[in-house]
Amino acid sequence: MKKRIAILGASGYTGAELIRLLLLHPEIEIKALTADSQAGKKMREVYPHLDFAGLPDLIPLSAVDYSLIDIVFCCLPHGTTQEVIAALPKHVKIIDLSADFRLANVDTYAKWYGHEHLAKDLQKEAVYGLTELHREAIKKARLVANPGCYPTSAQLPLMPLLKDKLIESDNIIIDAKSGVTGAGRAAKQAMLHTEVNEGVGAYGIGAHRHAPEIEQGLSEAAGKNITVNFTPHLMPMNRGILSTIYVKLTKGKTVDDLKNSLNKAYAKEYFVKIAAQGITPTTHMVRGTNFCLLGVFADRLEGRAIIVSVIDNLVKGASGQAIQNMNIMCGFAENTALTQTAIFP
């Protein structure tokens, strides 16, 4: 019997990307799509490229009959999700694509998101869904907190290296660049074509909300508290993230040690790949896919290395990883509906 799916907040980019990918999934049926201001519309009115799909109409959040739903993908804005999820029936499995359950420490959440956590007991139940590094916990989870896009690109290369004690923990610099879909679909002056095109800009300098999420995972891997220097940038492209990460090698270690560590950590993984010698990862190489491609390079500064990590922010950074987690929760093959190769050019 197919799993019955509801997507809450289906009119945003992550909701549309979930639909695009789930239409290829043989084991699920999309039963409900919700929206706020778009409620009452057909999906093709919001996203004409989905016209052929035979999807249900968009309905208000309050109109979902959860007795007919097995799995919910929650794509609601940060700060609105906790109370919604807390009210869902216990039989429903949940993959939350907002930031509302990513931070295990509710005080840290309050500090960075500006309000008290509204579902503290449920937070204790949430499993952080960085799939390759938390697979066993995800298998048994009811609620998975899908990671942020920047944290996915940063943690996948850094956590194995910290665990193996190959890099210093107090000198990590993450310079990350994202396409404009990372800012969502809501109309914003800063996201207008004329504001973004032909320019690159840093934002959230020293204060981006993904910093504590990155530090949470890296601290777990290192076994001690870690603080990173993380700066995101907005690029004039639709999708993709490229993180250039600068690290200091621990004494006696080499770039080859880093490569060997990552190759060992991800040797059996379908979606995390180490670039071949001479290849520098670019966002085009993963566009439209659920892959993370990593490259490791010697810095000209002795004892330092540069790591390049690329993902598609809407797929491995959001909707694709959410489906990967659902597949694990349901016992499906992990790559079901996610085997696409990159769209190029």
Tell me the torsion sign for CA atoms 75, 236, 294, 231: negative
Tokens representing residue 46 in the block: 């919001």
Q: Are 236 and 200 in contact (CB under 8 A)?
A: yes
- Indicate the SS3 state at residue 201: strand
Residue (of 218, 19, 260) closest to 133 by Cα position? 218
Task: Find the catalytic residue in 74, 75, 149, 292.
Answer: 149
Terminal-residue alpha carbon distance, the chain = 39
Tell me the torsion sign for CA atoms 147, 23, 63, 43: positive
Q: Output the 3-class SS for 61-101.
A: HHHCCHHHCCEEEECCCCCCHHHHHHCCCCCCEEEECCCCC
74 is catalytic: no
Tokens representing residue 119 in the block: 């579902």
DSSP 8-state secondary structure symbol assigned to residue 141: -
Nearest-5° Cα angle at 154, 204 to 194: 40
What stretches of 223-290 show up as alpha helix (H) in DSSP? 255-265
Q: Which residues are catalytic?
A: 149
